[in-house]
Amino acid sequence: MLPITILIVVDSGPDPVADGGFTWGPSPDDTLFTLHNLVLTLQSENMILVHTAHRSGDSNATFKAPFNFSTTLTDLNAYDEIWLFGYAGTNGGGPSISDDEVRAIAVFMERGGGVLATGDHAGLGSLMCGKIPRVRSMRKWYGAGEPDIPAGAPANWPGSTGDRADTLVQGRDGQWDFDNQSDDLPQVLSFPNGVAHPILSGPAGPINQFPDHMHEGEVLGFNGVSGPGLRTPWKLDDALTFSGQTFVEYPIINGHQELPLVIATGQVQGGHPTFVENTGRPCESQFFNDPSLTTEKQINILAVYDGHVAGVGRIITDSSFHHYLDLNTTGDPCSTGAKVVGFNTSEGASVLEALQSYWVNAAQWLAGPQFSSITGSSPDGNIPTAFFTHGGDPLQHAVSVPTTTNPSGPRSWTIINGLPGRNVQRGSGLTSCGISDTDTRVYYTDTTSRVNQTIWNGTLGSSSAYESMVLPSLEVRSGSSIISIKKTHEVGVYYIDSVNRINELSASTTSKTAAWSNNVLPSHPVRSDSPLTGLTLSNGDQRIYYIDSQNLVNELAWVGRWVNTVLPSDASPGHPAAPYSGVTCFALNGSDSRVYYSGEFNRLSAMNWMGDHWENAELFLPGPAGPITVPQGGAMASFQEGNDAHVIFIEVANTENTTFTNLVEVQPSSQVAGSWQMGGVVDQQARQPSSMCLVKVSSGIKLFFVGQDAKMYVATKVGSTWATEVL
């Protein structure tokens, strides 16, 4: 398995020395904040990898140049999560991140990427985090009276005056000193929902102690967006547009709208001033006295949003980055006594251990569901075979074999683990092509972003049955779909490169050692979340279908050369594709393409080639049911049975306590012309998002898919019903 990958991005004021902020280098005093203990803790876990960046650049970071969310990386989804520690805001720091950057982060979140975002008092952190969908309404990012605070937004707590969110605990010497944030006496958290959230559940019990600080900010739960009796500038049905792309802020999946939730609160003890213990020491230049007496109150410390329920990424917001700083956890180099070592004391060791458990829990909770991919084929038309991987493992192979010596007797599945070859890249597509009963080929992206081929010779029992090689592809885009098509005497493998172009790898099938060539096809720029699908017509010509950056379905057609067409070609643009739409196709009677995808409002839509023109239509059920809705990120499959088209997709249904993800089949209605009807429902919950693959064998249809339990299943269509078994 590949590790959970985390990108931590920080920033600073305009002049870090004068204005403060973060550094990835050493900090011998209190001028700049460091996160070395956090990074060390995360990376001490075998399955977590951390990269670092600074918006102004830092020679000690993984990315040394100034980091830009839209230009430094071609795809943020190379990471599972992004942790944002924002400082620039009230203290200056230049402009906020651009709309292009917000769009890049929003796309990352839409594809399941997790985000942890925090600042501190007033507007600290607003320039990096204040515009990001959902994040913006899950925390107070702006101080009162700041010029960029949205009208009506709840103001964050100030850095001074008695209204500050001062969570300091009185020291053992009876004093209320700024430096108490670096001692081994933590603030105590409460759980407003009565129980600890999973990220606050540690090996020794609930994690209810955090570092304290003189002036924190505050997070928001459901009260960050407008609901009954609430007034804020953010609405539950907001849709935000950045650089031409619109994002639904709080998606509704089949009637359920997931909302942010406050999971921990803290307490401000009233009636005390806060002083700087070591006044006049140059290295404590960032600290100051505040003689104002605090006002007792409760503040929100942590909020979460379970985006997986809504088909997007999860989010954690925190009231203060001081809950992660070395200054607050491992001590203040400018202080005296035990405050120099923080929680590294006999009394504080258990607090530090629990806090580190929270950091790791947060990383594990934010990570998207482990990506599983599956592909199948039937080289001889009788025996189905499947290849699959769990997000970073080597390939695995499942073969249907007789359970007795009778070839026509009952069959079972044999699993071969750890096939030869490189590990599969997390998020890689997977495709297979049956050349003959002794030549089945599988293609995937390895961890170096290159296309690999594994060939199976049709026998079982030894690793010598498999041959693996790296193909001469260009750099493959992270998460690229991959498809393969068998031609007359060639195999074609299609993928998306790092600059969003479709490429074809091709080789002769007359020899397993035939040379491969790579050809960049004349595609339009491919949308970042677009799948690929393709077919071969009865005349031997290939068709590839994808979604371009303008959200339109495109066809790449081989007609002696490759020609790209935006569909429908002879009419106004068709229904644009929804974010994370699946795409599937087949050739009706071998000649007329049928292409299915998720269109506007996630409605199942079709592009139909009618012999001399394309027709675009939404699929609907008769009566009040109306249009057929497909969830975001859902895989699709399609096939012809008789003269009818059939489409399979994942239906998300919600009851009061449970979300069901059923595999549903639809087909044209025999009762109402132009409408569709429900077919069979596969009797096993499917993971959403998932991967599925349909294989035709002489006995019928086999559908391979990933279950909610992350196991691999095959469903066999028998008449109008489906029978399911686990691999």
DSSP character string of 131-167 = TSTTGGGSB--SBTT-TTPPTTPPPBPPSSSTTSB--
Find the length of the chain: 727
Q: Is 2 a residue whose pLDDT tops 50?
A: no
**Do residues 217 and 300 touch, judged by C-beta distance below 8 A?**
no
Please report the pLDDT score of residue 593 as a whole number: 95
**What pLDDT score does 162 carry?**
92
Is 341 part of any domain? yes
pLDDT-derived band at 129 (thresholds 50, 70, 90) equals very high
Q: What is the pLDDT of residue 262?
A: 95
Residue 637 has, within 13 A of its CA and on its CB side, a CA count of 22
In DSSP terms, which residues pair with 297 in a beta bridge?
268
Q: How far apart are CA 546 and CA 534, in angstroms?
A: 9
Q: Are strands 114-118 and 315-318 parallel, antiparallel or unpaired?
A: parallel
User: Which run of H or E residues covers position 453?
Assistant: strand 451-456
pLDDT for residue 146 is more than 80: yes
Q: Which helix (H) or strand (E) holds 19?
A: helix 16-19
Please say if the pLDDT value at position 75 is more than 70.
Answer: yes
The CA distances from residue 388 to 23, 374, 424, 452, 666, in Å, are 42, 4, 10, 14, 26
Higher pLDDT, 458 or 407: 458
Residue 406, C-beta contacts closer than 8 angstroms, at least 6 positions apart: none
Point out the least confidently predicted range of 260-269, 596-605, 648-657.
Answer: 648-657
Helix (H) or strand (E) holding 648: strand 644-654
Exposed e or buried b for every residue in 380-414, given b needs 16+ CB within 10 A?
A: eeebbbbbbbbbbbbbbbbbbeeeeeeeeeeeebe
> Stretch 494-508: mean pLDDT, rounded?
96
| Full 3-state SS string of 383-397 | CCEEEEEECCCCCEE
When divided into structural domains, the chain yields a total of 1
Instruction: Give me the percent of the chain exceeding a pLDDT of 70.
Output: 88
Please name every residue paired with 603 in a beta bridge, in sequence order, or none if there are none: 629
Is residue 689 over pLDDT 70? no
Among 231-235, 492-496, 691-695, the least confident range? 231-235
Q: Is the omega angle on the peptide bond into residue 369 within 30 degrees of 0, that is, cis? A: no
Mean pLDDT in residue range 507-535: 93
Residue 408 has pLDDT above 60, yes or no: no
| pLDDT of res. 390 | 60
Question: Could you read off the pLDDT of 205-261 as tens digits, one per residue?
Answer: 999 999 989 899 999 988 677 554 455 788 888 999 999 999 999 998 868 899 999
- Which residue reads 């993971």 in tokens? 687
pLDDT recorded at residue 392: 53
**430: which residues sit within 8 A by CB, 6+ positions away?**
373, 374, 375, 387, 388, 389, 424, 442, 443, 444, 482, 691
Q: Please, which pLDDT band fits residue 659 given cuts at 50, 70 and 90?
A: very low
Residue 714 is assigned to a structural domain of this protein: no
Q: So what's the pLDDT on residue 308?
A: 82
Longest Cα separation, the chain: 90
Between 501 and 689, the more confident residue is 501
Q: What is the mean pLDDT of residues 118-129?
A: 96
Q: Which residue has the higher pLDDT, 372 or 280?
A: 372
Does any domain span residue 49? Answer: yes
| Number of neighbours of residue 360 by Cβ within 10 angstroms | 18
Burial string for 117-149 (b: 16+ CB within 10 Å, else e) reads bbbbbbbbbbbbbbbbbbbbbbbbbbbeebeeb
Cis check: omega of the bond before 568, within 30 degrees of 0: yes
Average pLDDT over the chain reads 85
Do the beta carbons of residue 131 and residue 141 sit within 8 Å? no
Answer whether residue 620 is part of any domain.
no
Q: How confident is the model over 265-284, as pLDDT tens digits? A: 999 999 998 887 765 555 65
In-domain check, residue 250: yes
C-alpha–C-alpha distance, residues 368 and 81, integer Å: 8
The answer to whether 30 and 24 are in contact (CB under 8 A) is no
**pLDDT tier, 383 (very low <50, low <70, confident <90, very high otherwise):** confident
What's the pLDDT band for 77 if we cut at 50, 70, 90?
Answer: confident
Within-domain flag for 20: yes
Q: How confident is the model at residue 92 (pLDDT cuts 50, 70, 90)?
A: low
pLDDT at 46: 55
Average pLDDT score over residue span 597-625: 87
pLDDT tens digits, one per residue of 27-47 = 877 778 999 999 999 988 756
Is 270 part of any domain? no
State the pLDDT confidence band at 353, using cuts at 50, 70 and 90: very high
| 136-140, 581-585, 603-607: which is most confident | 136-140
The pLDDT value given to residue 411:
63
Residue 223: give the domain boundaries.
4-157+216-263+300-366
pLDDT above 90 for 151? no
Query: Does residue 656 carry a pLDDT above 50?
Result: no
Residue 566 predicted with pLDDT over 60: yes
Least confident among 184-198, 513-527, 571-585: 571-585
Q: What is the mean pLDDT of residues 692-711?
A: 80
User: What's the pLDDT band for 161 if we cut at 50, 70, 90?
Assistant: very high
pLDDT at 623: 73
User: Is the pLDDT reported for residue 543 higher than 90?
Assistant: yes
Q: Read off the pLDDT of residues 548-560 as tens digits, 9 standing for 90 and up.
A: 999 999 999 999 9
CB 209 within 8 A of CB 189: yes
pLDDT in tens, 318-334: 999 999 999 888 888 87
- Whose tokens are 């074809």? That residue is 504
For the segment 145-169, the average pLDDT, to the nearest whole number, is: 90
**Alpha carbon separation from 171 to 159, 180, 245, 356, 642 (Å, rounded):** 21, 6, 51, 23, 80
CA 606/CA 570 separation, integer angstroms? 16
Q: Does 223 reside within a domain?
A: yes
- 3-state SS of 65-106 is CCCCCCCCCCCHHHCCEEEEECCCECCECCCCCCHHHHHHHH
Percentage of the residues of the chain whose pLDDT score is greater than 90: 45
The per-residue pLDDT for range 448-491, each reduced to its tens digit, is: 889 999 999 888 766 688 999 999 999 998 778 899 999 888 99
In angstroms, the CA 197 to CA 193 distance is 9
Q: Please name the amino acid found at residue 577.
A: A
